[in-house]
Amino acid sequence: MRIVVLDTETTGLKPEDGHRVIEVGAVELIGRRPSGRRLHYYLNPEREVDPGAFEVHGLSYERLKNEPRFQEIADELLNFLKDSELVIHNAAFDLGFLNHEFALLNSPTRIGMSDNATESFCQVTDSLRLARELHPGQRNSLDALCQRYGVSNKHRHFHGALLDAELLAEVYVLMTRGQNDLGIGERQSQAALRPLTEILSAGSLLKAVVHEQEEANHKHYLSDLRKEYAVPPIWEKIQ
């Protein structure tokens, strides 16, 4: 499936409080590789930017007031996202804002869109949810994932929609690289993450070739464990 990795920046935290989208960045992956196609817009939110939001992305209303409004780029954005697997970090936040913007258009249904819902014309994958499944109890912000997967983000002084989408695209491919290794194509990456107990019970692990001396050393080691702890070592139970 064609993948589009997307990020947004906004004037504040909640669309229901009147906050708007001020930046959209999206990059396309074909065969899990960047295709070179991307979309990037700065948008006029027709309102001031909250101080807390400005500290995150550095975009003021003064900077944005001459940019296009969302309704001017809506069709191009919809066509770019249509029929893709849409990857977003903390998808509920960005989708809440995008769907709010589409609802404000008060226009006829566009290219198969229903109920002003982005989810009606593309499949959504929340990379934050996936990261939490892969790394429970750890920090899973985009910066933390960049560090964990060796993706350089030294140039990320502020949050920026296109920059963050590009970084997330690299991280997402690395997080889900088991898809290709196991030959399951474009299926959801969670399907590649079978529990170890399931793999063991399925007998799908490859057997290693053990030389006679290595086997003798192993048996000697198990014998020492039995003498020291007076219980059978767990490896004997596995064998």
pLDDT tens, residue order, the chain (239 aa): 799 999 999 999 999 999 999 999 999 999 999 999 999 999 999 999 999 999 999 999 999 999 999 999 999 999 999 999 999 999 999 999 999 999 998 765 565 666 668 999 999 999 999 999 999 999 999 999 999 999 998 877 678 999 999 999 999 999 999 754 443 334 344 443 444 444 444 444 444 555 676 677 677 666 766 665 565 665 555 55
Picking from 175, 198, 226, the residue at the C-terminal end of a domain is 175
12 falls within a domain: yes
Task: State which residues form the domain around 229.
Answer: 207-238
Is 159 one of the catalytic residues?
A: yes
198 falls within a domain: no
186 falls within a domain: no
Other Cβ atoms closer than 10 A to 45: 24
Q: Are residues 18 and 123 both part of a single domain?
A: yes
Please identify which residue in the block is written with the tokens 């669309």.
15
Cα angle 140, 83, 44 (rounded to 5 degrees) comes to 70
Q: Are residues 121 and 219 both part of a single domain?
A: no
- Phi-psi category of residue 227: left, alpha or beta, with phi > 0 → left and psi -120 to 50 → alpha: alpha
Other Cβ atoms closer than 10 A to 77: 19
Q: Are residues 39 and 133 both part of a single domain?
A: yes
78 falls within a domain: yes
Name the active-site residue from 57, 157, 159, 218: 159
189 falls within a domain: no
Question: Cα(94)–Cα(92) distance, rounded to whole angstroms?
Answer: 6
Residue-level pLDDT at 84 = 97
Domain count of the chain? 2
Q: Are residues 159 and 223 both part of a single domain?
A: no
19-49 tens-digit pLDDT:
999 999 999 999 999 999 999 999 999 999 9
167 falls within a domain: yes
Q: Are residues 29 and 109 both part of a single domain?
A: yes
Q: Are residues 34 and 138 both part of a single domain?
A: yes
Q: Are residues 215 and 167 both part of a single domain?
A: no
Picking from 157, 175, 193, the residue at the C-terminal end of a domain is 175
CATH (domain of 117): 3.30.420.10
Q: Are residues 214 and 170 both part of a single domain?
A: no
Q: Are residues 38 and 145 both part of a single domain?
A: yes
For the chain, helix (H) and strand (E) counts, in that order, are 11, 5
Q: Are residues 130 and 230 both part of a single domain?
A: no
Q: Are residues 222 and 120 both part of a single domain?
A: no
